[in-house]
Chains A and B, each alone.
Chain A
Amino acid sequence: MIWALILLPFGLGVCALLTKNQSLQKYLLFGGALSHLILTISVWQKPPPAVLWGWLAIDPPGLLFLTITCLLFLLVSIYEFGYFEHLENDTEENMDVLIFPSIHTKSLFIGCQLFFLSAMTLVTLSQHLSLMWVAIEATTLASAPLIFFHSSPRSLEATWKYLLICSVGIALALLGTFFLSIAATKPDGSQTNLVFGNLLSNADHFNSQWLKAAFILMVVGYGTKMGLAPMHTWLPDAHSESPSPISALLSGALLNCAFLGIFRVYEICHKANLGAFANDIMLALGIVSLVVAAIFILGQSDYKRLLAYSSVEHMGLLALGLGFGGIGVFGSMLHALNHSITKASLFLLAGIILINYHSKKASDVQGILTRSKALGLLWLFGFLSISGSPPFGLFLSEITIVKSGFDQGRFIIASLSLGLLVIIFIGMATVFLNMTQPQPVLKSEKIHTPPPLRLKPSMLYPPVLLLLLSLVLGIYLPGWMKDLLVNIARQ
Chain B
Amino acid sequence: MTISILLKTTISILASLILAPILLGIINRVKAGFAGRVGQPLLQPYYDIFKLLKKGLFYSTTTSWIFRWGTLVSLAVIVCALLIVPCGPFPALISFKGDIFLLVYLMGVVRFITVISALDTGSSFEGMGSSREMFFSALAEPALLLALMGLAKVTDSFSLTSIANTLSATNWFNNGASLALLMGTLFIVLLSENARIPIDDPNTHLELTMIHEVMVLDHSGPDFAVINYISALKLWIFSAIIAPVLFPIHTNNIIADFSVWLSGMVLISIAVGIVESSMARLRLTVIPQFLLGATALAITAIVLTWIG
Q: Do chains A and B touch in the complex (CB under 8 A)?
A: no
Chain A positions within 8 Å of B, measured between CB atoms, are none
